[in-house]
Structure 1
Amino acid sequence: MLKKSLGIISAFVLMLGLSACGGNEDANNENASFGEKVEYTITGIDPGAGLMGLTKDVMSAYNLDKWELKESSAAAMTAALDKAIEDKEPIVVTGWIPHWKFIEYDLKMLEDPKGAYGGKEKIKTLVRKGLKEDMPGAYKFFDQFHWKPDDLQKVMLKIENGQSEQEAAKKWVKNNQDLVSSWIKGVESGNGEEIRVTYVAWADVIASSNVVKYVLENKLNYKVELIQVEAGPMFAAIADGSADAMVGAWLPSTHVDYYEKYKEELVDLGVNLTGTRNGLVVPAYMDIDSIKDLKAAE
């Protein structure tokens, strides 16, 4: 409830901020370009997110001199998107796949002809050194954990629609027994051993980490502690052994700095999900298809 309340407050503050910087005649002119109508603003997420730094680089690559990247939060960004779609208004937001908004709304990710966002990314599982020796069952489970963006987005949407993280995980697991069986095949019971999993407060990583927790606890008899941190500490905790695993490393772009810093001190178990992408997202009804169109709208 607190998380949802904070999201609503953040969204309200963001929309007030967008209104405060607006009010000009161009934005209200029916003949204005979509750039003028959105006041050359791209609605972003948390200022410390790797996607924000990447988007600034993209804006530079496309010479988007008039455009501003507005800092907010993931919750505020999706709230602003929801409001724009409800009113059939234009909006440009930072986005990524997987995300529940691609199931909930009719959206499109703008083409990136320069490849400035780095193309498709992958999500990796990283564990601490020594986990294989200390908890071979848990190590094998993490090594076998893999799924598709559509799987993850379904869990994310359940959470967004009000289910608790563990209830959403439980219902998804119930409907996907064959896939879950492949994760736990040959894995011995944990006999109540404790596992610490770090994660960032991104909708996709919250969902994946909670599915991992549910399976480990209810199928394999481990006790799992989920530890919410920022991206840097998520990697650092695995590297220094204060946590055991993480399933939300976006590579080769979003988390590349942290990965390069700590890669010698952790174990890379490889990809658990493919087909991820970063980019700029707009409602499907907008007459814009490429990031280049933003420059044209100036």
Structure 2
Amino acid sequence: MSQVESDIGNDDWIVFLGWEPHWMNVDFDIHYHEDPENLWGEASSVSSVVTSDFADDQPNVIAFLENRIIPIEVQDQWVYRYSRQDRPLETVAAEWIRNHPDQVNEWLEGVTTADGQESARAAYQATL
């Protein structure tokens, strides 16, 4: 990344292998080229995996995990703040949750509090 930063700072072109999520996508104006011959393989994804027992025993957690789809741009920002700005993970998460209530509300659709007595959305709204 230091070579990329140097070349960009000198207005030189550079080609390199990049990926997401990564802080480089926040720091640099990057263009990803197509891979029509699939030389680098298929696009990757991050998934939550649980045992079938867990899924049966914890439907509330499963509902949350199924709702929680995180756009790559958001992941880039999280990685940037944690890795590049050297901010504590808990701080990055707490600030993002506080600043994105609409997204958090989508994640909490159909989810209840741990005791099952209240909508998780309502509990979250009470903290705002």
Structure 1 length-normalised TM: 0.34
Q: Report the counterpart of residue 179 of structure 1 in structure 2.
A: 103
Q: Distance in 2 between matches of 1:190 and 1:84?
A: 51
**Greater relative CO (CA pairs within 8 A, separation 6+):** 1
The residue number in structure 2 matching 1:63 is none
For residue 141 of structure 1, what is the amino acid of its counterpart?
A: F
Query: Of the candidates 164, 167, 175, which is equivalent to residue 88 of structure 2?
Result: 164
What one-letter code is carried by the residue in structure 2 that aligns with 1:175?
N
- 8 Å Cα contact 1:98-1:152 kept in structure 2: yes
Cα distance change of structure 1 residues 128 and 79 upon mapping to structure 2, 3 Å threshold: farther
Select the residue among 36, 47, 70 that pairs with 1:113. Answer: 36
Q: CA deviation at 1:141?
A: 1.0
Unaligned runs of 5+ in 1: 1-77, 192-217, 220-298
Instruction: Note the aligned Cα RMSD (angstroms).
Output: 2.6
Alpha-carbon distance change, 164 to 106 in structure 1, aligned in 2, over 3 angstroms:
same
Distance 1:157 1:178 in 2: 22
In the TM superposition, residue 147 of structure 1 has moved relative to its aligned partner by 2.3
Computing the radius of gyration from Cα coordinates, the structure with the larger value is: 1
1:235-279 CA distance string (max 9 Å, x none):
xxxxxxxxxxxxxxxxxxxxxxxxxxxxxxxxxxxxxxxxxxxxx
Contact 1:138/1:190 (<8 A) preserved: no
Kindly indicate which of the two structures has a greater share of residues assigned to helix: 2
1:96 aligned residue (19, 42, 66) = 19
Any unmatched runs of 5+ in structure 2?
116-122
Instruction: Provide the rounded CA distance (Å) in 2 between the counterparts of 1:93 and 1:114.
Output: 17
For the residue of structure 2 that corresponds to 1:94, the secondary structure is coil
- How far does residue 90 in structure 1 lie from its aligned partner after superposition? 5.5
Greater percentage in strand: 1
1:258-297 correspondence to structure 2 within 5 Å: none
Aligned length: 116
User: Structure 2: how far apart are the matches of 1:127 and 1:163?
Assistant: 29
